[in-house]
Amino acid sequence: MTQPARIEAEGTPEQRMQLIFALRSHGVTDPRVLDAFEKTPRAAFLDRSFKDRAWEDLPLPIACGQTISQPSVVGQMTQALAVTSRCKVLEIGAGSGYQAAILARLARRVYSLERHRPLARQAREVVERRLGLANVSIMTADGALGLPDQAPFDRILLTAAAEDVPSLLLSQLREGGIMVLPVGQSDEMQQLLRIEKTPEGLVYSELSPVRFVPLLEGVAEDMDN
């Protein structure tokens, strides 16, 4: 089996402590989630010019005009999802692959959809080759459609804001499952929601105000160099 390439910029102990402090300050206290963050170097998902800021609790630019979310938001969403080692997870919006890599350390299997082909390709390179995570499938697809061939899912996570909760994605969530997503019509009106699908119906919880790019239909027409 091919060994993953050495990960650069894993961070100093002080930087790792800084990250964990930021997560705890925002209510992320689950030991499994914190351990997943410590084992997943954010710098591996960033362009060279931003690697020295990887441990800061800030969103940073990535390719295709997108961003990698700040760690505290990724942590809040991950903790709210309550992933167990038996879970099959669907992520809508792979972006850099950072969130998928963290989920992979918690779940049995992760499927991550990305509408930008260059981002999907780069994310696969980091997650599979450099980090050596074998339980993640990152693919270019229309995330608004979900992945019906692999449904139902135990957990579904959206990293793009929908105007309303997408019924098509809810239909792919297993009974007893959990979905976490930002909902709102603009970046000034978004709310992070947690939805649990119970036998009696859907249970909604509001978590925090957030700002995410909008959930768009289709596959982007990027120049895939």
- 223, part of any domain: no
CATH of the domain at 177: 3.40.50.150
Strands 153-158 and 88-92: parallel
- 202, part of any domain: yes
Is the pLDDT at 91 greater than 60, yes or no? yes
- 140, part of any domain: yes
End-to-end Cα, the chain, rounded Å: 29
Average pLDDT over residues 11-18: 84
Query: Which pLDDT tens digit goes with each residue over 166-182?
Result: 999 999 999 999 999 99
Is the pLDDT at 4 greater than 80, yes or no? no
Strands 109-114 and 67-68: unpaired
pLDDT band at 10 (very low <50, low <70, confident <90, very high): low
Query: Which pLDDT tens digit goes with each residue over 35-82?
Result: 999 999 999 999 988 998 999 999 999 999 899 999 999 999 999 999
Query: Is 69 among the residues known to form the active site?
Result: yes
Q: Which amino acid is residue 64, in one-letter code?
A: C
With pLDDT > 70 as the criterion, what percentage of the chain qualifies?
Answer: 93
- 224, part of any domain: no
Nearest to 86 by CA among 198, 176, 202: 176
Query: Which pLDDT tens digit goes with each residue over 110-167?
Result: 999 999 999 999 999 999 999 999 999 999 999 999 999 999 999 999 999 999 999 9
pLDDT at residue number 95: 95
- 220, part of any domain: no
Element (H, E) at 138: strand 136-140
| 3-class secondary-structure state, position 67 | strand
**Which DSSP string do the residues of 79-135 spell out, in sequence order?**
HHHT--TT-EEEEE--TTSHHHHHHHTTSSEEEEEES-HHHHHHHHIIIIIIS---S
- 160, part of any domain: yes
Q: Look at the chain and report how many structural domains it folds into.
A: 1
Is the pLDDT at 189 greater than 80, yes or no? no
Helix then strand then coil, in percent of the chain rounded to 5, is 35, 25, 40
Catalytic option among 49, 69, 96, 205: 69
- 218, part of any domain: no
- 131, part of any domain: yes
pLDDT at residue number 214: 86
Question: Average pLDDT over the chain, rounded to whole?
Answer: 91
Domain with 145 in it: 13-209
Query: Which pLDDT tens digit goes with each residue over 79-88?
Result: 999 999 999 9
